[in-house]
């Protein structure tokens, strides 16, 4: 699979926010077809107080991390120590088009990645970011700002909002080279009067959201011609095929790694690849 000439083989990557840092991702170099970083902002963020994660049922993970990250400069400095045999995709999050552009400048100066993913979809941001970009109609502006500062492929990360096809179309019109979807689905984990995440509201991931992801991918596929990276609840080779059937060209995996140690995760990915491509 190619995104604006960038080969991703196998077309399986990690979802942003899982494995997150260059040194953890180093374990999966060559095991995944591309490595995706944690969403990074201009300034360092500590994220929400714990609990930031809870799994009330086997197929349902809730999280509200609060986009913790060391900030673009520190993240890029760490990334610069590494070299990978597969593409490294930097994920960016911000409140304004200018902030996204400034982050791109920092990465291009310190550790130019192979592509950027723009997180305009985190459903539980602390500030005016993430899904606020969609709500405030800033997706096209953000995309244009980033494209003006880099020639690298740009992937727009969307969530399952109504009329997601239209948002995808706007992103592509503004220069996006691919669409990835979906981000987590907003939810509230409340039991016996206790909020189970410190932020109260969080995002749902895992097998429970697969039908939502499939529908979103189908709508995006119908609206745009660029490659689509499907995600949301993928665990098995059959799940991957379902996403491909709905229109995805590649897939990303997140919650499936919940509780897996590094060796188990590598083994799982080898098996998945074998099942899909041999």
Ligand X SMILES: Cc1cc2nc3c(=O)[nH]c(=O)nc-3n(C[C@H](O)[C@H](O)[C@H](O)COP(=O)(O)O)c2cc1C
Interface positions with ligand X (CB under 6 A): 15-17, 38-39, 61, 63, 65, 67, 91, 119, 122, 157, 183-184, 205-206, 209, 231-234, 253-256
CA-wise closest residue to 13 among 3, 5, 75, 185: 3
Q: Which of 252, 241, 244 has the alpha carbon at shortest distance from 275?
A: 241
- Which one of ligand X, other proteins, none is in contact with 253 (Cβ closer than 5 to 8 A by kind)? ligand X
Contact partner, 278, from ligand X, other proteins, none, Cβ < 5-8 Å per class: none
CA 95 to chain CA centroid, Å, is 17
Ranges within 61-120 binding other proteins (CB under 8 A): 63, 65, 68-71, 74-75, 78, 81-82
Does residue 45 bind other proteins (CB under 8 A)?
Answer: yes
243 to 39, 84, 151, 273: CA distances (angstroms): 23, 27, 29, 15
Q: Does 126 bind other proteins (CB under 8 A)?
A: no
Instruction: Give the C-alpha separation, 265 to 28, whole Å.
Output: 9
Residue 155: strand pairing partners: 117, 178
- Cα–Cα separations (whole angstroms), residue 42 to 45, 56, 65, 96, 98: 9, 33, 17, 11, 10
Find which of ligand X, other proteins, none residue 268 binds, CB within 5 to 8 Å per kind: none
Query: CB–CB of 203/186 below 8 Å?
Result: yes
CA angle 189-187-53, nearest 5°?
55
Say which residues have a Cβ less than 8 Å from residue 235's Cβ, sequence separation at least 6.
207, 256
| Position 16 contacts other proteins (CB under 8 A) | no
* 157 binding partner (options other proteins, ligand X, none; Cβ < 5 to 8 Å by kind): ligand X
Catalytic residue among 6, 13, 34, 122: 122
Q: Which of 55, 126, 241, 266 binds other proteins (CB under 8 A)?
A: 55
Cβ closest to other proteins, residue 38 vs residue 147: 38
Residue 252 Cβ vs ligand X, minimum distance, rounded to whole Å: 7
CB of 194 to ligand X, least distance (A): 21
212 in contact with other proteins (CB under 8 A):
no
Closest CA to 99 of 77, 120, 81: 120
Q: With contact defined as beta carbons under 8 Å apart, do 80 and 111 qualify? A: yes
Question: What does 195 interact with, of other proteins, ligand X, none (CB < 5 to 8 A by kind)?
Answer: none
Task: Identify the bridge partners of residue 34 per DSSP, sorted by sequence position.
Answer: 13
State which residue, 101 or 265, has the beta carbon closest to other proteins: 265
Question: Rounded CA gap, 21 and 18, in Å?
Answer: 9
Nearer to other proteins by Cβ, of 12 and 79: the residue is 79
Identify which of residues 86 and 120 has a Cβ nearer to ligand X in the complex.
Answer: 120
Contact 160, 181 (CB under 8 A): yes
Does the footprint of other proteins cover residue 195 (CB under 8 A)?
no
Decide if 258 is catalytic.
no
Question: Using CB under 8 A as the criterion, which residues of the chain lie in contact with other proteins when the complex forms?
Answer: 17-24, 26-27, 38, 44-47, 49-56, 63, 65, 68-71, 74-75, 78, 81-82, 196, 198, 254-255, 257-262, 265
Catalytic residue set = 122
């Amino acid at each position: 699979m190619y995104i604006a000439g960038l080969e991703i083989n196998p077309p399986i990557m990690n979802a942003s926010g899982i494995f997150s840092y260059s040194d953890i991702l180093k374990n999966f170099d060559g095991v995944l077809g591309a490595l995706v970083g944690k969403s990074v902002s201009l300034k360092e963020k500590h994220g929400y107080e714990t609990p930031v994660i809870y799994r009330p049922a086997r197929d349902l993970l809730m999280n509200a991390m609060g986009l913790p990250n060391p900030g673009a400069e520190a993240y890029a400095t760490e990334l610069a120590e590494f070299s990978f045999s597969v593409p490294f995709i930097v994920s960016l999050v911000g409140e304004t088009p200018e902030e996204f552009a400034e982050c791109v400048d920092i990465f291009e100066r310190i550790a130019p990645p192979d592509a950027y993913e723009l997180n305009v979809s985190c459903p539980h941001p602390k500030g005016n970011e993430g899904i606020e970009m969609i709500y405030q109609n800033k997706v096209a502006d953000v995309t244009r700002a980033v494209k003006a500062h880099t020639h690298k492929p740009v992937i727009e990360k969307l969530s399952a909002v109504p009329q997601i096809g239209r948002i995808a179309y706007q992103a592509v019109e503004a220069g996006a080279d691919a669409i990835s979807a979906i981000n987590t689905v907003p939810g509230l984990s409340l039991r016996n009067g206790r909020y189970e995440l410190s932020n109260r509201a969080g995002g749902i991931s895992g097998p429970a959201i697969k039908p939502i992801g499939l529908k979103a991918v189908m709508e995006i596929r119908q609206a745009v011609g660029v490659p689509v990276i499907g995600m949301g609840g993928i665990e098995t080779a059959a799940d991957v095929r379902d996403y491909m059937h709905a229109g995805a060209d590649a897939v990303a995996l997140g919650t499936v790694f919940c509780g897996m140690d590094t060796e188990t995760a590598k083994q799982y990915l080898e098996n998945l690849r074998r099942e899909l491509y041999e």
